[in-house]
Structure 1
Amino acid sequence: MSSLALAAQNLSIYLGIFALVAGVLGGLLNTIVFLSLKTFRQSSSAFYLTIMSISNLGILISGQLTRILISGYSIDWTQTSLFYCKFRIYSLQTFSHVSFAYLSLATIDQYLSTCSRPQWQQWSNIRVAHRLVILVVFLGLACNIPYAIYYVHNHSPITGEITCTNTNAIFQRYMNYVSGVTLTKILPIGLMILFGILSYRNIQQLARQTVPLVRRELDRQITIIVLVQSVITFFTITPYIVVYCLLLIFNANDYPAIYNNLQAANSISFSIYYLYHASPFYIYFCASARFRRQLKYVLFDVHLNQRCRRITPVN
């Protein structure tokens, strides 16, 4: 094993465990804060971020946990169970698609919410958000069915190993050029950055408009959150996109040495990629002082105090 491959393996294990633990904890805290405060429950942008946090939990459990078991302990359930082979790739792709879609919708919704035109502001409401969330879930479940169909066990006659792989050449091209890069990576990142910048520009103009203070502070908070998350998304996913495209150019038959190094680099970029799904809570915590106060209020003033009152006996 080369030094690059060894480094990639160790990074997949240790950084993967860190991302899994931190991501699951952060996703749960995000969900608790967003669902506990009426301000967030009535905000369509916050609703998108709430569902995105739940989707990220599914990605970390179905994707990152399996990678840790394979890299660190040579436990690959996709080789021993055909059901898990199909279920893991199907759930991973579905959660990934809807996670990027919800963050894109949150960014677009925040732009509409801060826009000065009333006819555009009316599209930023919780009823529209509920319908779009259901639509995105339905599309994600329906469009990723081919993953559950075409991924099967492939038995290698040379090595004797069983791998969970795709068997359809046409669907493989769709995965390489449409699903793998365009729909789930390039398009969402472009939308996030574009509408994040436009929302931030709108926020600068809110101070000159007659807007209630509570709404102005909420719009400022969520706009900063989605803008910073869009920037972090760009830096955590771009290495994966670059390495993925290089793997499509340099195949194993014509460039075996380059391909092997790219495979190790792909493993490293995957570890960085999963940081995107693990980082939202920590982005909100660092970028927004208001979110830190809300977190403290929810954990200590709401839940902890209520629990203490329940367990304290009446004299």
Structure 2
Amino acid sequence: MSSNTVDILNTIRDNLQYFYYVIFLYGTIGNFLNTMIFSRLKPFHGNRCAFYFTMEAIGGIVFLFLGLINSIARQIHGSDLVDSVLIWCRIRFITMHGMALILFFTICCAACDQFWSTHYRFGVRYQYPLKLARYIMLISSCIWLSHSIVFALFLNIQSSSSGCVITNFILIWYSTYCFYPILYGPLQIFLAFVFSLLAYRNVRHIIRQQISIERRQLDQQMTAMVLIRVIFCLILGLPYTCFRIYIINHPFTRSNLLRYTIGQILQIIVSLLFSANFASNFYIFFATSAQFRRQVKYFFRQKTNRVRPFNVITATSNQNYIDVS
């Protein structure tokens, strides 16, 4: 009975892996469209939040492509190389986790920047230029990749457990209480959520100030998009972080084949959700922002008709709410 259950679970596990190809396909298309829209359309030129969205879209494509390489290698080899080849275990950690840290930090920067750019004080609102945002992304990316390289040096293969694991006691403590809870999502997303709510409050205050309707509309749109992005990031990213903290301290051993197989299925599910977190931006924005839908439609129209004038701001001057419908 137990053997039949394990066989059924192995079949489920093998079939679940094919969902990643679906995520890769729609994620690559969505991130590519985000990159084009935020970098090409005139309302987003010089906007720092749009710059962070563009960087997240480019990083999302890289993240999904790295995951695709790992999935193809797993299909060719017949098993996950991470559990049997040490160099592959370390390279995958450096690339995937390093890129995920960069993406989480980018989301946090977008939320913080939206708070500062909607501040009621004019001097605070224009405190730093787009050029500084680019330097922040460059320096932070180097820091996160260096952190991942140092971290990966302590990874080892244990054939009796779940393969590629941390064996150093100090690093286990660091992963449990610092790396995954603080750096790898939860704290950064919590800060992003707080700053998103503060930006929402700022936008409602800015409406009463003497600023152009175009700037007001853009501030409303970007604030709403940042807030909804942070919410989905929390929903899709938190299960993976919790699972990683658990498995580091309680690894699934091969001696209990049923528990080990269930652990693999859970790992694939949370990994799929984690990948979907960086694949769904375009579709989240398109579904929740009427303004973004109009901009997407204009983007495709201008490809076929270059003569038509640019006009995607259609809201009236008495709009006093953030449009997320």
The TM-score normalised by the length of structure 2 is: 0.80
Deviation at 1:151, TM superposition (A): 4.3
Q: CA RMSD in A?
A: 3.1
The residue aligned with 1:273 is 274
The answer for the alignment partner of 1:299 in structure 2 is: 300
Deviation at 1:262, TM superposition (A): 4.0
Corresponding pairs, count: 299
Overall identity of the aligned pairs, in %: 27
Q: Secondary structure at the match of 2:220?
A: helix
Q: CA deviation at 1:259?
A: 6.2
The answer on 1:225 being equivalent to 2:225 is: yes
**Alpha-carbon distance change, 6 to 90 in structure 1, aligned in 2, over 3 angstroms:** same
- Structure 2 runs not aligned, ≥5 long: 1-5, 307-325
Distance 2:68 2:172 in 1: 22
Contact 2:117–2:125, Cα closer than 8 Å, also in 1: yes
Query: Alignment partner for residue 59 of structure 2, among 50, 55, 61?
Result: 55
Answering whether residue 218 of structure 2 is matched by residue 213 of structure 1, we say: no
2:78 corresponds in structure 1 to 74
Q: Distance in 2 between matches of 1:80 and 1:4?
A: 21
Letter in 1 for 2:226: V
One-letter code aligned to 2:37: V
Query: Could you report, residue by residue, the CA deviation over 1:273-303 in whole angstroms, capped at 9, with x for unpaired residues?
Result: 111011111111112222222222223314x
Question: Are 1:12 and 2:47 counterparts?
Answer: no
Query: Which stretch of the first structure deviates more once superposed, 278-287 or 137-146?
Result: 137-146
Q: Cα distance 1:78–1:41, how it changes in 2: closer, same or farther (>3 A)?
A: farther
CA contact (8 A) 2:47 2:130 kept: yes
Q: CA deviation at 1:244?
A: 3.0
Alignment map for 1:1-315 (pairs within 5 Å): 1=6, 3=8, 6-14=11-19, 16-67=20-71, 69-70=73-74, 74=78, 76=80, 84-123=88-127, 125-151=129-155, 154=157, 156=159, 168-248=168-248, 250-252=250-252, 261-302=262-303, 304-305=304-305
Task: Give SS of 1:35's match.
Answer: helix
Structure 1's consecutive aligned runs of 4 or more residues displaced over 6 angstroms after TM superposition are 79-82
Paired residues of 1:34 and 1:50 also in contact (CA < 8 A): yes
CA distance in 2, matches of 1:258, 1:155: 17
Deviation at 1:69, TM superposition (A): 4.8
Higher helix share: 1
Query: Distance between the aligned counterparts of 2:228 and 2:171, measured in 1?
Result: 35
Structure 2 vs 1, CA of residues 41 and 293 (structure 1 numbering), >3 Å: closer, same or farther?
Answer: same
CA distance in 2, matches of 1:130, 1:271: 30
**CA drift at 1:87:** 3.0
Consecutive unaligned residues in structure 1, runs of 5 or more:
307-315
Report the CA distance between 1:264 and its aligned residue.
Answer: 2.7
Query: How big is the shift at 1:78?
Result: 5.2
In 1, the alpha carbon distance for the partners of 2:271 and 2:287 equals 24
